[in-house]
Amino acid sequence: MQHTRRLLELMARLRHPQEGCPWDLRQDFASVAPYTLEEAYEVADAIAREDFDDLRLELGDLLLQVVFHAQMAQEAGLFDFEDVAAGICDKLLRRHPHVFAGAVFNTDAERSAAWEAAKAAERAERAPQGGVLAGVALALPALQRAQKLQQRAARVGFDWPDLAPVLDKLDEELAEVRDALAQGDRDAVADELGDLLFVMANLARHLKVDAEDALRRGNAKFERRFAYIEDALRDAGRQAEDCTLAELDALWDAAKAQGL
């Protein structure tokens, strides 16, 4: 705990009105928020790369973000770091009655239902008039937020019963994208693409696939194959700009054939 205490003291010094860092003193919750998101993604990136030394460092950077926000909140008389820690401790106790309160769940489904009930009670306490979709964070990546919105709606029965109608809806939305393109209406194209992506997220949910993870895999695959193209062209003393699309496609197919 001594290092936690030291970290809190360092952050307080950085925010000291007379002796602190000018940059840190200029910040507020809104200006720090993008850094908080960035650090969270860097934690996820270190995990994906299985670089655990880097993960240790990135977790420290993320912890600094928590401390930064808590320090600003303390200065404003809102809450402090101890309140943050107390809040998450209380939440862990509420959401794990089978560990801390003697409750018995016989199946994963029972545990999951109790977890969701606890979360729903917490949302109702924070926002008594909130609807089913209340509290799904706006700052989430759009695909992830789409799946969470769909999950919430599904809990009250607003969901397709199986995969077939989802696939039909996918065809319908793709046709509407084509229609908007044919009309040359850029706003309509953007709207229809949004609908198409939303249905894609729904398809992933029905297939029990995380849409964000699926897209990350697609991104990584594209990077690997494009790197193969660049390496092959470099070995041949050529550049991508000097090649025809057919030549680039042939190299892409070669990358696929090698399992990249």
pTM: 0.69
Q: Is the pLDDT of residue 102 over 70?
A: yes
pLDDT digits (tens, 9 = 90+) for 223-248: 999 999 999 999 999 999 999 999 99
Average pLDDT over residues 9-29: 97
Q: Is the pLDDT of residue 126 over 80?
A: no
d(CA 197, CA 204): 11
The secondary structure of 5-70 as a DSSP string is HHHHHHHHHHT-TTTS-HHHHH--HHHHHHHHHHHHHHHHHHHHTT-HHHHHHHHHHHHHHHHHHH
pLDDT at 66: 98
pLDDT at 128: 63
Among left, alpha and beta (phi > 0; psi -120 to 50; other), residue 50 is left
pLDDT at 129: 66
pLDDT at 6: 97
Comparing 56-60, 106-110, 146-150, the range with the smallest average pLDDT is 106-110
Single-letter amino acid code for the residue at 117: A
Selection from 25, 5, 10 nearest residue 72 by Cα: 25
Helix (H, G, I), strand (E, B) or coil at 238: coil
Q: Is the pLDDT of residue 115 over 70?
A: yes
For all residues of the chain together, what is the average pLDDT? 93
pLDDT digits (tens, 9 = 90+) for 139-159: 888 999 999 999 999 989 999
Question: How much of the chain exceeds pLDDT 70, in percent?
Answer: 98
